[in-house]
Amino acid sequence: MRAAWRWFGPKDPVTIKDIRQTGATDIVSALHTVPTGEVWPLEQIRAHKQLIEQNNKSNSALVWSVVESIPVHEDIKLGRANHQHYVDSWITSMENLVKCGIKTICYNFMPVIDWTRTDLKFQLPNGGYALRFDQQKFAAFDLFILKRDDAESDYSEEEIIQAKSIYDIMTGDEKSLLTQNIIAGLPGKMTDAYTIDDFRDMLVNYKYITKAVLRKNLFSFLSQVLPKAEQLGVKLAIHPDDPPRDMLGLPRIICTAKDLDILFSALPSPSNGITLCAGTYGSRPDNDLPAMAKQYGSRIHFAHLRGVSRDEKEQRSFYEAEHLESDVDMIGIISALINEEKLRDKTENSREIFIRPDHGHQLLDDIDKQGNPGYSCIGRLKGLAEIRGVIKALNANLSYAS
Ligand code: DNO
């Protein structure tokens, strides 16, 4: 297992120098300045890698090992006539990454929105802050701010009444903040910032894109990418849809174990793999994370380790909990990943699993710093330290316990 840390590039307030102190050995990064759909130029990849690795000789080394993510252009998801151009660009970016030694690539196939939260500063009892998704606030946005066509048909009468009462007591600033959080998005998102009108137009593009059509478009993309990935020794790691269900009338197709079964039975290539995002899958009570980690073991090339705590009465609402204190069984997941790695040593597939602490709380000095939501320094440092402790203890086989 390789401990990795996500770095957003030279503008990230958490610098490479800082990351050396976290105990991570690997960097997860992307060329965030290249517009979606354009080829990642070889020289830019080299320069980015150089920024990460340039001082390795005299310091604790950090290696750019994982890409998160090469964005998939909306035209590919929509299966539009000119999608081939964007598939070719995606493949060229992958080839350029391989020329620089980077062979683990995360991506997602979420239409229009990437990951979404309603609150970026949810106060915790200990004084820190977490990210939160509140289903009722989200419904208030959908029904009364966005006023999406036909939105009512996605909600029960009671849900509409609740959303209206939430909307009615929101101040103007709260409405703008909620809108901003949902449409202008979060760090690492794959879509461009929208105005609310652009956002509505983007949603309309998907009017006739059913789950089956979106799936067909994903499979057609992968049927071109996977043979190349196999040839190049690349492992692709699809990230699940976060939160893992249909939203805003958009189809979402990587949410559950069943979705993964469909994906792998259609495209069994060994390069066809997943990012086991424990927090995302774990925000549905019907996803059993340790079982999934076991079942899809050989497909897991990258794991985001974090968990959520779901609201008791509304299970679609959650906040991002402490790494070891959430609704997901983190020890069970890590233990399954360790077992998977043991199996790998006996087979051809000997790549280690890259893990990273996903979203950290804002703690201590994080609180007054301007940072990327979810990507605080101290909060993630705490998460990584806890995870590394679990790995160390499980690897020692808890022999001291007996
Ligand atoms: C959020 C992340 C996502 C993720 C992409 C993967 O923190 O997990 O932004 O990077 O969805 O393609």
Does residue 75 sit within a domain? yes
Does residue 139 sit within a domain? no
Atom of ligand 1 minimally distant from the CA of 277: 8
Phi-psi region of 16 (alpha: psi -120 to 50; beta: other; left: phi over 0): alpha
Measured in Å, residue 239 CA sits from the centre of ligand 1 at: 7
Token pair belonging to 18: 């800082």
Q: 138-147 long-range CB contacts below 8 Å, 24 or more apart?
A: 138/182, 138/247, 139/163, 139/166, 140/164, 140/166, 140/167, 140/170, 140/178, 141/178, 141/179, 141/182, 142/248, 143/167, 145/175, 145/178, 145/179, 145/196, 146/179, 146/196, 146/199, 146/200, 146/248
Does residue 170 sit within a domain? no
Does residue 279 sit within a domain? yes
Atom of ligand 1 minimally distant from the CA of 107: 12
Does residue 197 sit within a domain? no
Contact 238, 254 (CB under 8 A): yes
Distance CA 291, CA 333 (A): 8
Token pair belonging to 189: 């998102």
Q: What are the residues facing 310 on neighbouring strands?
A: 318
Distance CA 193, CA 181 (A): 11
pTM of the predicted structure, to 2 decimals: 0.96
Contact 394, 19 (CB under 8 A): no
Does residue 183 sit within a domain? no
Distance CA 157, CA 251 (A): 22
Does residue 109 sit within a domain? yes
Residue from 6, 105, 108 whose mutation best tests the ligand 1 pocket (most atoms within 8 A of CB): 108
Measured in Å, residue 244 CA sits from the centre of ligand 1 at: 13
Range of the domain at 282: 2-116+208-401
Does residue 201 sit within a domain? no
Q: How would you write the pLDDT of the chain (402 residues) with one tens digit per residue? A: 999 999 999 999 999 999 999 999 999 999 999 999 999 999 999 999 999 999 999 999 999 999 999 999 999 999 999 999 999 999 999 999 999 999 999 999 999 988 999 999 999 999 999 999 999 999 999 999 999 999 999 999 999 999 999 999 999 999 999 999 998 767 666 566 678 888 899 999 999 999 999 999 999 999 999 999 999 999 999 999 999 999 999 999 999 999 999 999 999 999 999 999 999 999 999 999 999 999 999 999 999 999 999 999 999 999 999 999 999 999 999 999 999 999 987 665 567 999 999 999 999 999 999 889 999 999 999 999 999 999 999 999 766 655
DSSP 315: T
Please enumerate in sequence order all residues whose Cβ is within 8 A of that of 28, keeping only pairs 6 or more positions apart, or say none.
Answer: 4, 5, 6, 7, 65, 66, 67, 68, 106, 302, 354, 356
Catalytic annotation, residues: 239, 277, 304, 358-359, 375
Binding pocket residue ranges, ligand 1, CB within 6 Å: 68-69, 106-108, 114-115, 188-189, 239, 277, 304, 359, 374
Contact 111, 127 (CB under 8 A): no
Please enumerate in sequence order all residues whose Cβ is within 8 A of that of 248, keeping only pairs 6 or more positions apart, or say none.
Answer: 112, 113, 142, 146, 148, 151, 203
Distance CA 107, CA 213 (A): 19
Atom of ligand 1 minimally distant from the CA of 106: 12
Preceding omega of 268 cis (within 30 degrees of 0) = no
Measured in Å, residue 169 CA sits from the centre of ligand 1 at: 32
Token pair belonging to 231: 């040839």
The domain tally of the chain equals: 1
Q: What is the CATH number of the domain that holds 341?
A: 3.20.20.150
